[in-house]
């Protein structure tokens, strides 16, 4: 049985970060809504209570019965979690005289306390709260403070319970990972045996037991998630897996051929379907972004359904759903916010059972599993790419000529990033075809042609993103190459907006 840490989610924006940090300690964890604690699970080694947008004294604040976990497991409360534990045990939580957001330093802490083993003096931590603990219960003891917060951390005197008002999961908390390690490993006693190799071994065994001799169909996108899912399933059930790769005409230049070649090298059974003509007809004259997405989404479902029904005795639909998709699909009250199915509507339409072998993994873990499976590095490190493809990178209506222009410009940009060893420094990149034309001069002749925008961002999870500060020499070279080599373009711009307030994609 895989030992685990349970993270109770009270609605913090950084709850997923807690999960990722614990996973980085080679320890399996699960994030569950605060009111969905899995009772009678013998594999639980400890519990972390996350932050929250609420104040603990609000009538609408999320609350749990601590009796369900108190004294049964080691507990670590973070921010709201720490305030809640103190508050319900008789401590005081009040609005802070001055709100503390951003960097702070632990000016004092108990160096003998197991939670702070290996933590440096005056270490930087990240605060984000408008309330503060002004008094702790009699059976608690303060173990850390900052210049502004007298009780930055505490420990219960008898039970294995700790609380910190800062966020150790955030990158800017310098020794945050060490603090989490002290809790997960030293306090909870986790063995740190969660690894790509152990995941592959256990998942392959589980898939063989789950699927038996049943036939499975999987929709491939060329992206890392669906590709790793396919290789993992292929390892488990071999020829009983059939993959379908649909070319809707909005892929990158020569991507259909390249991806099909990659999948052949991986030994996958793949059916490639070129239906670009169908989609060009359906998209003709459509300019509204959401309308484009719906046309491509529903059209893809129809094509995939047709191809799947050509196969005999298929009982399962496999998808590359990953853990953030599952977390985001439910609010902390358990209400469905959005479907996490990669291909919305397919399971219901096709009456198939759903198989999601990566549903427990974060994106970086998917890549580690891909490497463990021996997949080519260029497939593992491939940038995210929107499902509707270039259709949402062409502002305005879609035509084959516009797609050709964008494919050529995009190919120069992406290949340039690879040639200049910049590709792996960027989270996502692409070219946008703008719905404007501009005056230019080529060979003493006036031109009136299209403008494109280069977009490249850095990020860790796509929730926020900054524009990539690419070298001027590189941008100049790419601009010249696009203008000189792509017929129909005479102006190149670079998008320097961040998310928020902008989005990564333009549509």
DSSP state string for 122-143: T-EEEEEEEEEEEE--TTEEEE
Averaged pLDDT, 206-226: 93
d(CA 266, CA 376): 9
Residues 394 and 485: their CA atoms lie apart, in Å, by: 19
Q: What is the pLDDT of residue 348?
A: 63
440: confidence class by pLDDT, cuts 50, 70, 90: confident
pLDDT at 135: 95
Q: Which residues contact 264 (CB under 8 A, 6 or more apart)?
A: 270
Query: Residue 309 contacts by C-beta under 8 Å, 6 or more apart in sequence?
Result: none
Split at pLDDT 50, 70, 90, the class of 100 is low
Domain 4-187 matches domain 196-380 at the CATH topology level: yes
- The half-sphere exposure of 367 on its side-chain side, counting CA atoms within 13 A, is 11
The 3-state DSSP composition of the chain as helix, strand, coil percent (nearest 5) reads 35, 25, 40
Taking each helix axis as running N to C, give the angle between helix 400-419 and helix 472-485, from 0 to 180 degrees, rounded to the nearest 10. 150
Q: What pLDDT score was predicted for residue 339? A: 38
User: Parallel, antiparallel, or unpaired: how do β-strands 92-105 and 124-135 relate?
Assistant: antiparallel
Per DSSP, what are the bridge partners of residue 76? 48, 162
Architecture of domain 398-494: 2-Layer Sandwich (3.30)
CA–CA separation, 421 and 342 (whole Å) = 31
Bridge pairing between strands 466-467 and 445-458: antiparallel
Q: Which residues are catalytic?
A: 79, 167, 169
Q: Above 50 in pLDDT, residue 77?
A: yes
Beta bridge partners of 4: 44
Would you tell me which CATH number, out of the four given (3.20.20.70, 3.30.465.10, 3.40.50.620, 3.10.580.10), belongs to the domain 196-380? Answer: 3.40.50.620
What mean pLDDT is predicted for residues 112-132?
Answer: 91
- Distance of alpha carbon 275 from alpha carbon 101, whole angstroms: 52
d(CA 83, CA 154): 10
Task: Give the separation between CA 367 and CA 386, rounded to whole angstroms.
Answer: 18
Least confident residue range of 94-103, 286-295, 373-382, 445-454: 94-103
Distances (CA, A) of 19 to 32, 62, 333: 11, 20, 19
Does residue 8 have a pLDDT over 50? yes
Res 99 pLDDT > 80: no
Bridge partners, residue 487, by sequence: none
Least Cα distance to 478 among 505, 455, 444 occurs for 455
HSE at residue 25, side-chain half, CA atoms within 13 A, is 26
* pLDDT at res. 349: 63
The model's pLDDT over 261-303, given as tens digits with 9 standing for 90+, comes to 989 889 999 999 999 999 999 999 999 988 998 899 888 888 8
pLDDT band, residue 80 (cuts 50/70/90): very high
Beta bridge partners of 430: 455
Confidence of residue 418 (pLDDT cuts 50, 70, 90): very high
Compute CA 473 distance to the chain's CA centroid, rounded to the nearest angstrom: 32
Domain boundaries defined on the chain = 4-187, 196-380, 398-494
pLDDT one-digit tens code per residue, 235-264: 999 999 999 999 999 999 999 999 899 898
Report the distance separating Cα 61 and Cα 53, nearest Å: 9
Confidence of residue 326 (pLDDT cuts 50, 70, 90): low
Measured distance CA(44)–CA(234) in Å, rounded: 31
State residue 459's pLDDT score: 86
Q: What is the pLDDT of residues 465-481, one digit of tens each?
A: 899 999 999 999 999 99
Cα separation of the two ends of the chain: 45
| pLDDT score at 447 | 79
Do 189 and 181 touch, CB atoms closer than 8 A? no
Write out the two tokens for 66.
């601590």
Residue 448 banded pLDDT, cuts 50, 70, 90: confident
Strands (E), 52-139: 75-78, 92-105, 108-109, 124-135
Torsion from C-alpha of 448, 449, 451, 452, nearest 10 degrees: -170
Q: What is the pLDDT of residue 337?
A: 32
Q: What is the mean pLDDT of residues 99-112?
A: 85
CA-based Rg of the chain, rounded to a whole angstrom?
A: 26
Please give the Cα distance from 222 to 226 (Å, whole number): 7
Fold of domain 4-187: Rossmann fold (3.40.50)
130 pLDDT higher than 70 = yes
Distances (CA, A) of 170 to 16, 17, 18, 333, 411: 10, 7, 8, 25, 36
């Amino acid at each position: 049985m895989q030992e685990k840490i349970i993270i109770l989610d009270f609605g913090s924006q950084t709850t997923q970060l807690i999960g990722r940090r614990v996973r980085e300690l080679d320890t399996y964890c699960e994030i569950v809504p605060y009111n969905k604690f899995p009772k009678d699970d013998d594999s639980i080694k400890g519990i972390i209570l996350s932050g929250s947008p609420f104040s603990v004294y609000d009538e609408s604040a999320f609350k749990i019965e601590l009796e369900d976990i108190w004294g049964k497991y080691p507990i670590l409360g973070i921010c709201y979690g720490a305030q809640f534990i103190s508050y319900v045990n008789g401590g005081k939580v009040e609005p802070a005289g001055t709100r503390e957001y951003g960097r702070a330093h632990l000016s004092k802490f108990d160096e003998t306390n197991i939670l702070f083993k290996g933590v440096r003096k005056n270490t930087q931590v990240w605060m984000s709260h408008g309330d503060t603990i002004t008094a702790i219960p009699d059976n608690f003891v303060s173990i850390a403070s900052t210049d502004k917060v007298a009780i930055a951390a505490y420990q219960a005197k008898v039970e294995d319970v700790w609380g910190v008002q800062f966020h150790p999961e955030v990158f800017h908390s310098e020794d945050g990972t060490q603090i989490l390690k002290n809790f997960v490993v030293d306090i909870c006693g986790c063995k740190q045996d969660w690894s790509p190799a152990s995941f592959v071994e256990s998942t392959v065994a589980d898939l063989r037991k789950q699927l038996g001799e049943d036939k499975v169909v999987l929709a491939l996108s060329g992206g890392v998630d669906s590709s790793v899912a396919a290789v993992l399933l292929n390892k488990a059930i071999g020829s009983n897996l059939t993959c379908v790769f649909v070319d809707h005409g909005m892929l990158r230049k020569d991507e259909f051929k390249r991806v099909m070649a990659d999948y052949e090298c991986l030994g996958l059974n793949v059916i490639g379907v070129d239906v670009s003509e169908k989609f060009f007809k359906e998209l003709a004259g459509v300019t509204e972004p959401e309308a484009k997405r719906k046309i491509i989404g529903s059209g893809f479902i129809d094509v995939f359904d047709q191809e799947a029904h050509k196969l005999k005795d298929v009982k399962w639909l496999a998808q590359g759903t990953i853990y953030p998709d599952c977390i985001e699909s439910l609010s902390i009250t358990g209400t469905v916010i959005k479907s996490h199915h990669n291909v919305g509507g397919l399971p219901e339409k096709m009456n198939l059972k759903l198989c999601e072998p990566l549903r427990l993994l974060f994106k970086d873990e998917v890549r580690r599993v891909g490497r463990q499976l021996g997949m080519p590095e260029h497939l593992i490190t491939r940038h995210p790419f929107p499902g509707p493809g270039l259709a949402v990178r062409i502002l305005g209506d879609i035509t084959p000529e516009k797609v050709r222009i964008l494919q050529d410009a995009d190919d120069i940009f992406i290949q340039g990033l690879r040639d200049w060893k910049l590709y792996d420094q960027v989270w996502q990149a692409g070219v946008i075809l703008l719905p404007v034309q501009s005056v230019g001069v080529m060979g003493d002749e006036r031109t009136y042609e299209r403008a494109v925008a280069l977009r490249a961002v850095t990020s860790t999870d796509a929730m926020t993103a900054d524009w990539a500060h690419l070298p001027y020499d590189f941008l100049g070279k790419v601009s010249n190459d696009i203008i000189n080599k792509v017929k129909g373009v005479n102006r190149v711009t670079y998008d320097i907006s961040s998310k928020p307030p902008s989005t990564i994609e333009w549509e």
